[in-house]
Chain A
Amino acid sequence: MDEKVTREIFPRDSRKSYGLVELMKKSAPIIRKEPEDTVNVWPNLLMIEFICAILVTVGLMVLIQFEHAPLRSLADPSTTPNPMRAPWYFLGLQELLVYFDPWYAGVVLPGMIILGLMLFPYLDTNPKGVGYYTYTERKFAVFNYAFGFSLWWVTIVIGTYLRGLDWQWYWPWSNHLEHMNPALVTLIPLHIIFMNWFHVSEGVGKLITDILFVGYFAVWTIIPMIVWKPMYKAMGLWRYLTFMFFFLSMMGVALKIVFRLLFNIKYVLVTPWINF
């Protein structure tokens, strides 16, 4: 029976110690669905789970015939192994720490990733695509997830294969056993580049970076508001702003990595308290 009708005939009342949970056409454990074409969990589903467990066990047993749990030499504070590689699932984090200051890459950014993942169901207003695989009905959501995690996997691949001694960039064909000379070009904060280009003072150089930084967030928040009005209307102001903050931060992280790798930029924004 329709839930609304049920509620009208049997209203919820705190004075009553009883109530009607649900009216069903037939006796079945599945609510609001027909009972036909059902099978018993024992043995049908349990068998599948049991086979899965066996396959996992066999897989693990086979794996440990070829590879053993590593154990390095005894802990020694005076010497760090070179290069010091984190386990694979933290390599993305280790690589991000090369591009950002630790307060951001090590604390705030992971916190934002966790928070952003948690908030995703509350920010995604698209009601379509529940219970089946679809890309066409929710392109933007899938794009976001795929972009975020490809960033994660790309940094893992960089950390595993393209970093060598002294955590320097080594191509697969370079000699990984030889210490390379550090790059001749040192990392430069963006405002110093502007100072040299436009021959302006440090204050003006920093002002340009401030404007660029704030402008990036402001412009890209306002443009979709105008261009994709239906999306903005569907989300509402606060949900939209929250989403854009996370989205633009994610894109910003990717942009900063590209800037660092291509132009050796240390910080895009320098303030007396924090640097990006």
Chain B
Amino acid sequence: MTNPTAGVGHPEETTLSPSEKGRRKFLVAAGWSLVGASMAGSAYATYKFLFPPVLYEPPTVFKIGHVSTYGLGVDERWKLKGRFWVVRNMRGIYNMISICRHLGCTPNWFPDQKRFRCPCHGSIYDVHGNVRGGPAPRTLWRGQITRDPLDGELIVNTVIRLDPDPVQTAQGLWVKEKVKEISPYYITHGSPPGGSCAPNRLLC
């Protein structure tokens, strides 16, 4: 039986000259390249389109008053408005962004347990922001805190954040306090009158 598929191809193709064949091959390649290039171009344009160059988002800079208005420990008065806690210890004052480092929920402060705890996946932080339990992969952010040169009030900027690499320990994820108590994320100030860090040793 003869092979019925011998000489398959469009009839005119068999009679083409080599140069004509080459020309067609080139045109096909060029055509498909153009299709590919325009697809890539539109993909890039779509990608660019999805990134708005201007944002209308809630404010991130807050003027939070004098150091003297804050007592020892965690102060929650800015949590509702600015999503950060102000923490004063025996040496000074800092703030921590109340965004869980796991998946962005807002943790709650439990004064009796001396822990921040996240209701979404159970991350647990201490008053330094170190991870004491749960799935959080990093320690809590500290926001920029500066003193207004005119009236001496504190200014917190929550988008400028301190985020040093933590160390794995048997007690959790840890960053040394010395590393975090640096300008402009910390303001050195004397301890509040009559304040005692005995209830929470981490404030000492």
Q: Which residues of A contact B (CB under 8 A)?
A: 11-15, 77-84, 94, 97-102, 106, 165-168, 179, 181-183, 186-189, 191-192, 196, 267, 270, 275
Assess the B8–A102 pair: CB atoms within 8 A. no
Flag if A14 contacts B105 (CB, 8 Å). Answer: no
User: Could you say which residues of chain A place their CB within 8 Å of the CB of B124?
Assistant: 182
Q: Mark B82-115 against chain A: 1 for CB-CB distance below 8 A, else 0.
A: 0100000000000000100011011110100101
Interface of B is mostly: loop
Whether A97 pairs with B102 at a CB distance below 8 angstroms is yes
Tell me, in angstroms, the Cα distance from A175 to B8 when the chains sit together.
79
Q: Decide if the interface of chain A is mainly helix, strand, loop or mixed.
A: loop
Question: Do A166 and B168 contact each other (CB < 8 Å), given the known contacts A78-B83, A101-B135, A275-B137?
Answer: no
Verify A14–B135 contact, CB threshold 8 A.
no
- Structural contact, A78 and B81, CB atoms closer than 8 A: yes
Q: Which residue of A lies closest to B83 (CB)?
A: A78
User: What residues of B have a CB within 8 angstroms of the CB of A77 in the complex?
Assistant: 58, 83, 106
**Residue of A84, A167, A183 contacting most chain B CB atoms (<10 Å):** A167
B152 at the interface (CB under 8 A from A): no
- Residues in B98-146 with C-beta less than 8 Å from chain A: 98, 102-103, 105-108, 110, 113, 115, 117-122, 124, 132-135, 137
Q: How far is the CA of A77 from the CA of B98 in the complex (A)?
A: 10
* In the A-B complex, the 8 residue pairs with the closest CB atoms: A167-B122, A82-B119, A80-B105, A166-B117, A11-B4, A78-B80, A80-B106, A84-B120
Residues of B within 8 A of A (CB): 4-5, 8-11, 58, 79-81, 83, 98, 102-103, 105-108, 110, 113, 115, 117-122, 124, 132-135, 137, 168-172
Closest-by-CB residue of B relative to A202 is B168
Please, how many angstroms separate the alpha-carbon atoms of A88 and B54 in the complex?
37
Question: A82 touches which one: B5, B103, B108 (CB < 8 A)?
Answer: B108
Are B169 and A14 in touch, CB under 8 angstroms?
no
Task: Provide 5 A-B residue pairs closer than 8 Å at the C-beta atoms, listed in order of the A residue.
Answer: A78-B98, A166-B108, A167-B121, A186-B133, A188-B170
Once the chains bind, are B133 and A81 in contact (CB under 8 Å)?
A: no
A99/B108 in contact, CB under 8 A: no
For residue B202, give the distance in angstroms from its CB to the closest CB of chain A. Answer: 15
- A84 and B137 in contact, given A11-B4, A192-B170, A270-B168 (Cβ under 8 angstroms): no
Which residues does chain B contribute within 8 Å of A83, judged by CB atoms? 119-120
* A11-B5, A102-B103, A182-B124 known; A165-B170 Cβ under 8 A: no
**Contacts A80-B105, A81-B119; A14 near B8 (Cβ below 8 A):** yes
In the docked arrangement, what's the CA distance between A270 and B170, Å? 14
A166 adjacent to B133 (CB under 8 Å): no
Chain A's closest residue to B113 (CB) is A181
B122 touches A98 (CB 8 A): yes
CA distance A94 to B105 in the complex (A): 13
Q: Which of B5, B81, B107, B120 has the most CB of A within 10 A?
A: B120
Among candidates B81, B105, B108, B133, residue contacting A182 with C-beta atoms closer than 8 Å: B133
B residues in contact with A167, CB < 8 Å: 118-122, 134
- Choose among B58, B120, B122, B168 the residue that contacts A80 (Cβ–Cβ < 8 A): B120
Query: What residues of B have a CB within 8 angstroms of the CB of A181 in the complex?
Result: 113
Kindly provide the distance from the CB of B117 to the nearest chain A CB, expressed in whole angstroms: 4
Question: Is A182 in contact with B115, judged by CB distance below 8 angstroms?
Answer: yes
- Chain A residues closer than 8 Å to B132, beta-carbon distance: 182, 186
Q: Are B137 and A168 in contact (CB under 8 A)?
A: no
Q: For B105, what are the chain A residues with a Cβ–Cβ distance below 8 Å?
A: 80, 84
Assess A97 versus B121: contact at CB under 8 Å? Given A14-B9, A182-B115: yes
Q: How far is the CA of A107 from the CA of B81 in the complex (A)?
A: 32
The answer on a CB contact under 8 Å between B168 and A189 is yes
